[in-house]
Amino acid sequence: MPCETCGAPHACPFQLSMPPRVASSARGLDGIFNVNKPLGKTSHHVVHTIRKISGLARVGHAGTLDPMATGVLLICVGQAVRVTEYLIDHEKKYRARVRLGIETDTYDAEGAVVAQRAVNATRAQIENALASFVGKIAQMPPAYSAIKKEGVRLYDLARRGIAVERTPRPIEIFSIIVRAIALPDVEFDVHCSKGTYVRSLAHDLGEALGCGATLTALTRTASGQFALDDAITLDELRAAFENKSAEHYLNPLDEALLQFQAVVVTEEIARRVMLGNSVNCEREYATRLLRAYAPSGQCIALLERGRRAGEWKPQKVFAS
């Protein structure tokens, strides 16, 4: 009798019913902490702090925030370190404050002032200038950025006084909403794709208005489905580890993978997948990768199409 899932003349390994998802394996903490990064700290400092207070060896972040920025910083622990690339791909939201009439070499308030001009822009001019950046655009990254040029980060070259040619990068800004204008300051919310530099957006606004501008405050309010309202502070997370309740704040690692379709396998097939073996299913799926779950609800692997027809092989295995 053909399989009801894919129509193949065999027992299909992929089931349609989905059990409740679980956050962690029996080996320890595997998941994502939504941390509200404090002002003045680097993303690396937050990772180091969490590694120290948790005792966990595998800790990483998904999406760097500058020291002057606050807000959502996703910290991956355990097996979730292996899904950071998918979290980085998520869209971002920020609240920015920009000061018109001043330019700095870093495009933010931490840099050296390189120019000052009078501000004569009207509200309509400011709103129109910001609206012109909405859509798919090519954005020039700041000279002080982590982008590499021949293996060396741009900020290292800039600090050594070495000028290099930068290349505009394709980004997309989905929306910009002006919250307040009290000249010379402008505050707005921006929803954008990965790779967007809000510092560059501030600089470009100043160029468009002819008076210069620099970023004076920035908060990441969302990264994908992770919102600032749900973020935990470092002090709260430290207390949670001391009280052995940190798992309460842990999001399942598959929160990074919800853009891919999900399949559930039997216990027998789960064991095979966790050993790195392929499975076969002729059914068509809309996404290039599949989230594979054991009957317990634990995400055990990310599957990709194999070379043979109907073959799905593990790209990443999260449990063993």
Average pLDDT over residues 46-74: 94
Q: Look at residue 279 and tell me if it is in a domain.
A: no
Question: Collapsing DSSP states into helix, strand and coil, what is residue 122?
Answer: coil
Q: Look at residue 108 and tell me if it is in a domain.
A: yes
Q: Look at residue 19 and tell me if it is in a domain.
A: no
Q: Look at residue 162 and tell me if it is in a domain.
A: yes
- Domain containing 180 equals 92-223
Q: Which of 30, 66, 108, 254 is catalytic?
A: 66
Q: Look at residue 155 and tell me if it is in a domain.
A: yes
State both tokens at 84: 């950071």
- The span from the CA of 93 to the CA of 71, in Å, is 10
pLDDT given for residue 12 in this prediction: 62
Q: Look at residue 2 and tell me if it is in a domain.
A: no
State both tokens at 270: 């789960």
Q: Look at residue 180 and tell me if it is in a domain.
A: yes
Annotation marks residue 66 as catalytic = yes
* Beta strand 69-77 pairing with 185-192: unpaired
Q: Which of 158-162, 230-234, 316-320 has the lowest mean pLDDT?
A: 158-162
Domain total for the chain? 1
**Predicted TM-score (pTM) above 0.85:** yes
- The CATH number of residue 142's host domain is 3.30.2350.10
Percent with pLDDT over 70 in the chain? 83
Which of 26-30, 94-98, 266-270, 284-288 reaches the highest mean pLDDT? 94-98
Mean pLDDT for all residues in the chain: 87
- The span from the CA of 290 to the CA of 301, in Å, is 8
